[in-house]
Chain A
Amino acid sequence: MASSGQTARTSGSRIAGVVSCLPSRRIENEDFLDRFGDKVHEVVKMTGVRTRYWVEDGTTTSDLCAAAAERVLDRLGWERGSVDGIIFVSQTPDYRLPATSCVLQHRLGLRTGILAFDVSLGCSGYPYGLWMAMMMVQTGAAKRILLAVGDTSSIMNDADDRGTALLFGDAGTVTAIEATVPDADPAWFILGTDGQGADNLIVPGGAFRKREATGRLEGHPLDKLFMDGGEVFNFTLKAVPSLIRDTMAAAGEGVEDYDMFLLHQANAFMIRHLAKKAKLPPEKVPINIDRYGNTSSATLPLLMTTDRADALTTGDCRVALFGFGVGYSWAAASMRIGPLRCCETISL
Chain B
Amino acid sequence: MSGFYEELAEILEVEPDQVTADLRLESTSWDSLAVVSTIALIDEQYDKAVNATALAACETVGDIERLIAARQTESEA
Contacts and interface: CB of A to CB of B under 8 A. Distances in A.
Interface string A261-297: 0000000011001001100000000000000000000
A202 interface: no
A234 B51 contact: yes
Interface residues of A, number: 18
A61 to B, nearest CB: 28
Interface in B32-49: 32-33, 35-37, 39-40, 43-44, 49
A237 B43 contact: yes
Contacts of B36: 46, 229-230, 233, 269
B52 A228 contact: yes
B56 interface: yes
B56 A233 contact: no
A136 interface: no
A46 B39 contact: no
Contacts of A229: 32-33, 35-36
**Chain A residues touching B, majority SS:** helix
A238 interface: yes
A45 B13 CA distance: 13
Contacts of B33: 42-43, 45-46, 163, 229
A153 B52 CA distance: 24
B47 to A, nearest CB: 9
A231 interface: yes
B9 interface: no
A238 B49 contact: yes
B27 to A, nearest CB: 17
A276 B39 CA distance: 15
B44 A163 contact: no
A269 B40 contact: yes
A163 to B, nearest CB: 6
B40 A273 contact: yes
Nearest to B56: A230
B53 interface: yes
A237 B41 CA distance: 11
B32 A273 contact: no
B52 A234 contact: yes
From A43, A231, A238, A270, residue with most partner B Cβ within 10 Å? A231
Nearest to B31: A42
Interface in A36-88: 42-43, 45-46
Given A237-B39, A273-B43, A273-B44, A231 B32 contact: no
B32 A163 contact: yes
Contacts of A234: 39, 49-52
A281 B50 CA distance: 26
B55 interface: yes
Contacts of A231: 52-53
Contacts of B51: 234
Contacts of B53: 228, 230-231
Contact of B37 (A46, A163, A228): A46
A90 to B, nearest CB: 27
Interface of B: 29, 32-33, 35-37, 39-40, 43-44, 49-53, 55-56
5 contacts: A46-B33, A230-B35, A230-B36, A269-B36, A269-B37
| Cβ-closest 3 pairs across A and B | A230-B52, A231-B52, A230-B35
Interface of A: 42-43, 45-46, 163, 228-231, 233-234, 237-238, 269-270, 273, 276-277
Given A228-B52, A230-B39, A238-B49, 17 more contacts: A43-B33, A45-B33, A229-B33, A229-B35, A229-B36, A230-B52, A230-B53, A230-B55, A230-B56, A234-B50, A234-B52, A237-B39, A237-B40, A269-B40, A273-B40, A273-B43, A277-B44
